[in-house]
Amino acid sequence: MFRRALSQAAKEDLRHIAKVEEAPAESVSLSVSKAKANVPLGVDMTSRCRDGKTYITELKHDGPLHLAGAKVQDRIVSVNGRACTGAKAAAALLAAASGDFEVVVERVQECFI
């Protein structure tokens, strides 16, 4: 599900991530809600091979993560206090979560040069 080919826009987003990697980032705690486990959250993610950091590449409009305030290019840090060490781990943690739960993301602050 998460290994499909990236759209051109997603590839450009990842290039942007690489360019601003050293930019200041803020940690944002999102309160997510879904009725039960294994309900889709409407998110596509990718992780970098070298360090396993997991980034949101696409969000479904009005999906649970989108409604909680997640944005494309956010890095998923943890789900309910459990660290995400790659897209597969993040997908498993997100799928297993139910009710109200916390997702911590790291958001690169916009830098205008």
Per-residue pLDDT tens digits for 69-88 = 999 999 999 999 999 989 99
* pTM (two decimals): 0.72
CA distance 86 to 64: 20
pLDDT at 1: 41
pLDDT at 24: 65
Per-residue pLDDT tens digits for 5-19 = 556 655 555 555 554
CA distance 55 to 14: 8
| Residue bearing the bigger pLDDT, 69 or 47 | 69
DSSP category for residue 18: H
32 pLDDT more than 70: yes
pLDDT at 3: 44
**Is the backbone of residue 26 left (phi > 0), alpha (psi -120 to 50) or beta?**
beta
